[in-house]
Structure 1
Amino acid sequence: MLLNPIVYDKSIRPALNHRDVTNVSFDLSLAQLIDVDEKNQIITTNQWITMIWRDPKLRWNPLDWDNVSLLHIKYDKVWLPDIVLYNKSTSAIPIGLTCETRY
């Protein structure tokens, strides 16, 4: 089973060895400009975050499953990088994750 909790722990960084590096590609796209407060120099936006990385613990052989080559997995089932937003105007900024993970 791909996400068997005995084999896969989403709280552990995806690496086969603790010395391995997990490279995460990060892309931020502006979806909506909500407000510009010139006086306080604050902008409010809605943005799309795309993160891409390889998880060697998640392997899928399409030949074993009738050539199914793409899986949609809920984001809360796999490891996710921690995201910290610096230079924010307030500490009450939610960073919401509502997405699907594709393999």
Structure 2
Amino acid sequence: MTNEELAALAKTGDRAARAALWEQNRGLLAVLFRRLYVRAGARMAQAGVTWEDVEQCGFLAIVQAAQRFEPERGVLFASFLSYAVKSVFFELIGYRTERTRREPLNCA
């Protein structure tokens, strides 16, 4: 099955489809996370995050991408996955965007 078909099944709650998505995209996840890992090495050391933590967040990225995937838009699942990887990674290392820095409740 293709990633898009598996993502549609995973969106309905099929755990086997999530597992198959994980298996099919492990290589892509490793590449995407390695790029971010290299760029944010110092920040990860400050946050106490290890590579094993990053690998475990890969499954969360798969779940998030499957939930947000919209096949009718004509976009590949990998595009949704790359966004989810960035989102999960930045949450992991505690990176806040400029917008969240300005919000008073996030500064408390």
TM-score range, shorter chain: under 0.3
The answer to which structure, 1 or 2, has the higher relative contact order (CA under 8 A, 6+ apart) is 2
1 or 2, which has the higher helix percentage? 2
Q: TM-score, normalised by structure 1?
A: 0.22
1 or 2, which has the higher strand percentage? 1
Q: TM-score, normalised by structure 2?
A: 0.21
